[in-house]
Amino acid sequence: MAGQFRSYVWDPVLIVSQIVLMQTIYYSSLGLWLALVDSLVQMGPSLDQMFNYEILGFSTPPGRLSMMAFILNALTCFSPLLRPRSALGLLYFIRRGKQCLDFTVTVHFFHFLGCWLYSARFPSTLTWWLVHAVCIALMAVIGEYLCMRTELKEIPLNSAPKSNV
């Protein structure tokens, strides 16, 4: 069907590439946030902050710092003013508002599997599930908003300058 606008062709290599790219962007920006938050309180960085589900919580300083980094990562992943890595991910590599929720859930699903493998136990704390539910909601809504904003831009039909006659 030639001539269709934005026709979708099943391309598994593209989809896998986008998933790997988004996962890389997610972990690099989360790592930067964790390093920044840790440097503010002179704490050593640890993979536990990223992958140990038991550390997320309000009762310990590392848990609060990790929660703050996850939320900041979700908020700034799509901020048009800051232009961090994940904004570039969804906005420039995915480009479709309809796919933002899919890729956001996929990134968090693979993070869930990573936490499960790292801890060798199923994540069972309520705080972990709540933080990630909030992060998914924030990332998906803000990402869809920004992608839809770029999709709805006017398409210039005439590139020639207008003349006043």
pLDDT in the model for residue 115: 94
Look up tokens 């705080």; give the residue: 127
State pLDDT tens for residues 119-137: 999 998 999 999 999 999 9
In a domain, 43, yes or no: yes
Taking residues 95-110, report their average pLDDT: 82
pLDDT in the model for residue 114: 94
Flag whether pLDDT at 97 surpasses 70: no
Label residue 156 exposed, middle or buried (CB < 10 Å: 0-12, 13-18, 19+): exposed
> pTM of this prediction?
0.76
Taking residues 130-158, report their average pLDDT: 80
- Expressed as residue numbers, the domain containing 107 is 30-149
Q: Please give the tally of structural domains in the chain.
A: 1
Residues written for the chain: 165
Spatial CA neighbour of 95 closest among 144, 26, 28, 24:
144
In a domain, 18, yes or no: no
In a domain, 110, yes or no: yes
In a domain, 145, yes or no: yes
As a whole number of Å, the end-to-end CA separation of the chain is 42
With residue 26 as reference, give the H or E element that holds it.
helix 12-40
Label residue 33 exposed, middle or buried (CB < 10 Å: 0-12, 13-18, 19+): buried
State pLDDT tens for residues 53-79: 888 888 888 788 889 899 988 877 654
In a domain, 15, yes or no: no
pLDDT in the model for residue 77: 62
With residue 20 as reference, give the H or E element that holds it.
helix 12-40
